[in-house]
A = this chain, B = another copy of it.
Amino acid sequence: MNTVELIKKKRDGKAFKADEIHYLINNYKNGKIPDYQFSALLMAILLKGMNTSETAALTNSMLNSGKIINLSSLKGYKVDKHSTGGVGDKTSLIIAPIVASVGVYVPMISGRGLCHTGGTLDKLESIPGFRTDLSFSESKKVLKKCGAVLIGQTKEIAPADKLIYSLRDVTATVESIPLITASIMSKKLAEGIDGLVLDIKTGSGAFMKSQTDSIKLADSLIKTAKSFDKEVIAFITDMNQPLGNYVGNWLEVYESILVLEGKIKNDLYSLSIKLAGAMIYFGKKAKSLQEAERIAKQKVENGEAFKKFLEIVDLQGGNVNYINNPDIYPKPKFVKTVRSVKKGFINEMNTYQIGMASLELGAGRMIKEDKIDPKAGIIFYRKIGDYVKKGDIICKLHSDSKSKINSAEEMIMESIKLSKTKPSLQKLIKKMI
């Protein structure tokens, strides 16, 4: 096979065979295909697309560029949830303990925050001592002991994906449904799961701004998962405002504790129950999705989910004192209260902008090398549809930098639009596929 001829093939809109995709991925991983050829190929894939079998073959080659966790020794169903990412999206922290407490295994590989979105690993690492870099055998021990483990992508998992993702990032080839699909699925399949629940975010804070694109991505992910004989379901959910009320790493752990303790029942709670329900149903612990959701709620009410969370934190090296007594957590140097300058209904929250404000406060990173301040972030007191008078609190900003708090405040003020009449509310869960 000849690399230039293969690039030409895709450029001319033809479909690859599985062995051609394998040749490309394998040789790129081994350094035999240089970056400049692979980036031309990526652009051709982005512009000419890939069909279902090409996407499955791409996923397969990327998956097999590394190791697959062998969980066959653990009897029982293994399930994971994947979210395409947004602002304030901390459902993983709530779902994993709920589902594990029902007796379904949750081996979860998560990512870090980049640009306006947060990442589960960063949130977990805001808990002092918490380790997300467990080895395969350590992960398996934790999983066996408590039913869930939350780790990051190791060098052993889909190394081709890591290489390709870095190249896509700097060559304007991120926004390709087959490439996104293979990137997500190669990592998820490496977990050794039986089923997968997808949370595809749509709206101003999501990567997919339109519902049409979100459905296309969901469709591609579902087809690929099925071609690997995995059970799969996708929820298209709203990301036109932050999920829950807390944005920022420790602040999101804190809100997760409140939800797990049954103290708040907001949109974050509702979505977590929905997603956990689907996972419990896949794990055959309920006869219907409705029954599964009831079980999930029960696990929150009876305290078992929160207990499971403590267990996970403890087994992964985290200091549970901070979970039991969140108030002892270090405080930011500055807290600024943002108040409404006029009256009206909150009509719009530009969630991308809110994510960028949170990054400005120190809660996110622009490039991979940036350091995160776990204390930084935003607590919202109002959401879309709420009425505010002049002087009412909209949110509080947490940061160690006074100048950054001021610039973040400006960004927040710009991101929120008021209207005279109450806006019609967006559905939290727009579609189930």
Copies of this chain in the oligomer: 2
Q: State whether A171 touches B40 (Cβ < 8 A).
A: yes
Instruction: Chain B residues near A11: list those with CB within 8 A.
Output: 43, 46-47, 172-173
Q: How many whole Å from A212's CB to the nearest CB in chain B? A: 16
A40 is contacted by which of B4, B5, B39, B48 (Cβ under 8 Å)? B39
A37 is contacted by which of B7, B44, B46, B171 (Cβ under 8 Å)? B171
Instruction: Chain B residues near A171: list those with CB within 8 A.
Output: 4, 7, 36-37, 40
Q: State whether B42 touches A40 (Cβ < 8 A).
A: yes
Instruction: Chain B residues near A43: list those with CB within 8 A.
Output: 7, 11, 39-40, 43-44, 47
Q: How far is the CA of A167 from the CA of B34 in the complex (A)?
A: 12
A-B contact pairs, 21 of them (CB 8 A): A4-B172, A7-B43, A7-B172, A11-B46, A34-B36, A35-B35, A35-B36, A36-B36, A36-B38, A36-B39, A36-B167, A36-B170, A37-B170, A37-B171, A40-B43, A40-B171, A40-B172, A43-B44, A44-B47, A44-B172, A47-B47
With both beta carbons as reference points, the residue of chain B lying nearest to A35 in the complex is identified as B36
Q: How far is the CA of A43 from the CA of B9 in the complex (A)?
A: 13
A8 at the interface (CB under 8 A from B): yes
Listed from nearest, the 4 A-B pairs whose CB atoms lie closest are A35-B36, A7-B172, A43-B43, A40-B171
Given A43-B44, A44-B43, A47-B48, verify A172-B36 contact (CB < 8 Å): no
Instruction: Chain B residues near A39: list those with CB within 8 A.
Output: 36-37, 39-40, 43
Instruction: Chain B residues near A4: list those with CB within 8 A.
Output: 170-172
Most buried by B among A11, A36, A37, A173: A36
